[in-house]
Structure 1
Amino acid sequence: MTSIPFSLPVIDQPVIDEMMDTLTRTGWLTSGPKVRALEEEIAKFIGNPRVLCVNSWTSGAMLMMRWFNVGPGDEVIVPAYTYTATALCAMNMGATPVMVDVKDDFTIDPAKIKAAVTERTKMILPVDIGGYPCDYDAIADVLADPELRGKFRANGKRQETLGRILVLADAAHSLGATYRGRACGTIADVTVFSLHSVKNITTGEGGAIALSLPDGFDHDAEYKYLRVMSLNGQTKSAFEKNQPGAWRYDIIDQGLKVNMPDLCATVGLAQMRRYKDSLLPERKAIFKYYVDFFSRFDWAVLPPAGSADGTESSYHLFLLRVRGFDEARRDRMIQLISETGVGVNVHYIPMAMLTLFRNRGYRIKDYPHCFDLYQNEISLPIYNKLSEEKLAVICQSVADAYQETVKG
């Protein structure tokens, strides 16, 4: 039986060579030259000069909440259809996540946002599910509504400078995506990418913050401050302190310890250098293979990939939906696929269905469209080096499992 895992990171000779360089030439493991090189590569790729690498998406989002003074008593709007980290980053800072329903493309429904805003709302976290960007212009239009702006109660200098709810894009999936011709990482006020092991570009564990603040902010000063805040508020990294005569430092604020080590950045750096010309086009080709195959079946609901306005996915996930299926039949279909040795997944169990959130009063009945998407969704493997031969096996396994399921 063929064994095809759901996800595999790119660990090839360029990655090994880069790691050997880190271990034998630089001899530096925590934040140092490889982190800076990775930041520069991501910055060049997205066209945003202010990129800060951190040790996870969650810690990056928490750092930005600390920066924007989000805490106890505040509310953060999140889509109900996302991974738990989108809400946990707010909860970990003492704020309350407010969930809203989503659209057919799995992204947050801008029409639902207005009713969720209160005087306590400080931030919204739209999520680019599967790598397909949210409708950021529609979100901006909602937040520009004079009624909503009138509700905003600033707490602190940065909130006063912005004068409205901050948009932090949960771009965990969307490094390489574009929204209306603009690269993700340049659209929202703040964007946080994930570099986790299953992402398009990985550092094992990691994340990257991209700042695109509006006029009124001293962008370079805020970027410098965030770097310090990622190191416990310390004005020099260990690498900088290790230089001859450079031992003296200061602690200027209550920061977090969320810096990325060079050991992790090395893996992502070797991948990032090939992302635009090689790794991303390969993912797109795999996505297209699935589209070409499953578009023949009226039971297959295909995920969004792009549109004529310049919006395009990063092809992180292939979120196949099975028309008319409920949870039981979807789960049966997954079991049959798994028995062939093909790894599939579900993205995601809606947060309101999880014990943590149910115990806090969230109810899935309040997010009906969210449940409709979840109950018949199956995520198919999509990663680099997935051969056409294996893709054919995956597709046939899924099609056969559907037929077996409907036969009962």
Structure 2
Amino acid sequence: MIPFSPPYINENVIKEVVDSLKSGWITTGPKVKELEYEIAQFVGLPNVLCVNSWTSGAIMMLRWLGLEKGDEVIIPSYTYCATALAVIHAGGTPIMVDVNDDFNIDVKSIEKAITSKTKAVLSVDFAGFPCDYSEIQELVASEKIIKLFKPTSQIQKKLGRILFISDAAHSLGANYKNKGIGHSCDISIFSLHAVKNITTAEGGAIVINMPKPFDNENLYGNLRSMTLNCQTKDAFSKSQGGNWKYDITGLGMKINMADINAAIGLAQIKEYPTLLERRKSIFKKYSSEFKKFNWSIEPPTSTNEKESSYHLYPLRIKNINEEQRDEIISLISAQQIAVNVHFIPLPLLTYFKDLGYSIKEHPKAYNNYKAEISLPIYPQLTDESVDLVIKTTIDCCEQVLNTVSKTV
């Protein structure tokens, strides 16, 4: 059996976790701070806040922005449900727009969707391939869009324009214009979930890059307090003798990351350049083999401005429907190779359909989805396993496509 995406756990990870256990301190403390520092060094921005999930981090940032009922946040329809649910939990309305052939949000569709109610754009780096950051950045800062902007909170008034947040759940390790993700938007949020390139079992990391007059270091402190119910001292600080007195300064959340979780990611990120290189080599091997077939659409990997984090390998098969794609997946799975689909477009999911969203308004998202199969890609995959995935995928695709051609 070749699993789809097992976590990378080696002796260094185990040692780091055991060290946390032996320390007698397993909730938020020094290892969380160290992980924040390591991620900050990796992306090249100083203010990184770790939380217990991408979703809770996104909810908190949208609440911090001051979303009210009726406020709109523009998102792509081709994403995991958390992108939309975070907006709803924060009190806003997700406005879904279609995507490009590279799976990422279409900037022209963003522009068409902006109204006086728009408070944020929440883009997604699908599979770790960066979205069109500069174009979105220029759009929200353009004079005609700023004229439309109607702030309803003090934070929005201070910013003076639509907030640009990156759903960077997949893209820790990606680059845009030779910089880590986070430099070309206001807020980026990485996921550190169990299947991500770097994991803390459950977790997320918020990269703070607000423009002046915001003080990002001060904002980090305020948001860190917000993750702890707006308590003025965390448990680690209170545990230092006689330092028990604290205050509650606002309506916060309880979404802090624990040291026991941070320990896993801390060990991994120290090895990440090597792990990332292995992901890249597998990605390139897949593409070099699949491009030999005229039915294959290989996923984007790099351009002059962008390089992926190689989080997923979303292969697409030309001119097939959902049923044929599902048949290919069944055949591959029967050979003990786990594959996946990323993602079911949001308007196809019952909850969002019931809210009135329609897949008919998202033709590119649907066309990407119906042809997509995500293949295993992670550092532990051996060369032999990679070759087996390639051979099996080719054989199963050819089997279904040959059957289709005979019936036409």
Normalised by the shorter chain, which TM-score bucket?
A: over 0.9
Residue 74 of structure 2: SS of its match in structure 1?
Answer: strand
**Per-residue deviation, 1:145:** 2.9
Distance 1:395 1:175 in 2: 26
Distance 2:68 2:337 in 1: 43
1:181 aligns with 2:178: yes
Residue 8 of structure 1: SS of its match in structure 2?
Answer: coil
Distance 1:164 1:185 in 2: 18
Per-residue CA deviations over 1:338-359 (Å, capped at 9, x if unaligned) read: 0000000000000000000000
1:22 aligns with 2:20: yes
Counterpart for residue 153 of structure 1: 150
Note the aligned Cα RMSD (angstroms): 0.8
Q: Which amino acid aligns with 2:312?
A: L
**Per-residue deviation, 1:333:** 0.5
Distance 1:193 1:262 in 2: 18
Q: Which moved more, 1:362-371 or 1:112-121?
A: 112-121
Counterpart for residue 303 of structure 1: 299
Contact 1:177–1:314 at 8 Å: present in 2 too? yes
Per-residue CA deviations over 1:130-154 (Å, capped at 9, x if unaligned) read: 0000001111222233222111111
Contact 1:65–1:71 at 8 Å: present in 2 too? no
What count of residue pairs does the alignment treat as equivalent? 403
Matching residue within 133, 137, 154 for 2:134: 137
Per-residue CA deviations over 1:10-31 (Å, capped at 9, x if unaligned) read: 111000111111111x211110
Contact 1:186–1:211 at 8 Å: present in 2 too? no
Distance 1:324 1:156 in 2: 48
Distance 1:257 1:186 in 2: 28
Residue 125 of structure 1: SS of its match in structure 2?
Answer: strand
Distance 1:190 1:150 in 2: 22
Counterpart for residue 382 of structure 1: 377
**Per-residue deviation, 1:176:** 0.6
Distance 1:326 1:108 in 2: 23
Contact 1:337–1:398 at 8 Å: present in 2 too? yes
Distance 2:340 2:185 in 1: 29
**Per-residue deviation, 1:218:** 1.8
Counterpart for residue 7 of structure 2: 9
1:336 aligns with 2:331: yes
Contact 1:56–1:194 at 8 Å: present in 2 too? yes
Per-residue CA deviations over 1:360-391 (Å, capped at 9, x if unaligned) read: 00000001111011000000001111000000
**Per-residue deviation, 1:331:** 0.6
Residue 168 of structure 1: SS of its match in structure 2?
Answer: strand
**Per-residue deviation, 1:66:** 1.4
Matching residue within 276, 282, 291 for 1:286: 282
Residue 307 of structure 2: SS of its match in structure 1?
Answer: coil
Q: Which amino acid aligns with 2:316?
A: R
**Per-residue deviation, 1:282:** 1.0
Per-residue CA deviations over 1:258-301 (Å, capped at 9, x if unaligned) read: 1001111110000011112x111111111111111111111110
1:402 aligns with 2:400: no
Contact 2:137–2:184 at 8 Å: present in 1 too? no
Contact 1:201–1:271 at 8 Å: present in 2 too? yes
Distance 1:169 1:88 in 2: 15
Counterpart for residue 111 of structure 1: 108
**Per-residue deviation, 1:191:** 0.3
Q: Which amino acid aligns with 2:118?
A: T
Distance 1:186 1:70 in 2: 24
Distance 1:140 1:211 in 2: 15
Counterpart for residue 190 of structure 1: 187
Counterpart for residue 251 of structure 1: 248
Q: Which moved more, 1:343-352 or 1:183-192?
A: 183-192
Distance 1:182 1:135 in 2: 14
Q: Which amino acid aligns with 1:78?
A: I
Contact 1:204–1:264 at 8 Å: present in 2 too? yes
Distance 1:403 1:65 in 2: 46
Gapped regions of structure 1 (runs ≥ 5): none
Counterpart for residue 406 of structure 2: none
Gapped regions of structure 2 (runs ≥ 5): 404-408
Residue 124 of structure 2: SS of its match in structure 1?
Answer: coil
Distance 2:9 2:60 in 1: 30
Counterpart for residue 51 of structure 2: 54
**Per-residue deviation, 1:67:** 1.2
Contact 2:338–2:376 at 8 Å: present in 1 too? yes
Q: Which amino acid aligns with 1:319?
A: P
Distance 1:17 1:217 in 2: 39
Residue 123 of structure 1: SS of its match in structure 2?
Answer: strand
Identical aligned residues as a percent: 49
**Per-residue deviation, 1:329:** 0.6
1:320 aligns with 2:315: yes
Per-residue CA deviations over 1:206-264 (Å, capped at 9, x if unaligned) read: 00000111121122211110000010000111111111111111111100111001111
Residue 126 of structure 1: SS of its match in structure 2?
Answer: strand
Normalised to the residue count of structure 2, the TM-score between the two structures is: 0.98
Matching residue within 24, 40, 45 for 1:43: 40
Distance 2:355 2:202 in 1: 29
Q: Which amino acid aligns with 1:326?
A: N
Runs of 4+ in 1 over 3 A off after TM superposition: none
Counterpart for residue 371 of structure 1: 366
Distance 1:170 1:273 in 2: 23
Distance 1:259 1:181 in 2: 31
Counterpart for residue 172 of structure 1: 169
Per-residue CA deviations over 1:160-209 (Å, capped at 9, x if unaligned) read: 11111001100000001011212102221000000000000000000000
**Per-residue deviation, 1:71:** 3.0
1:76 aligns with 2:86: no
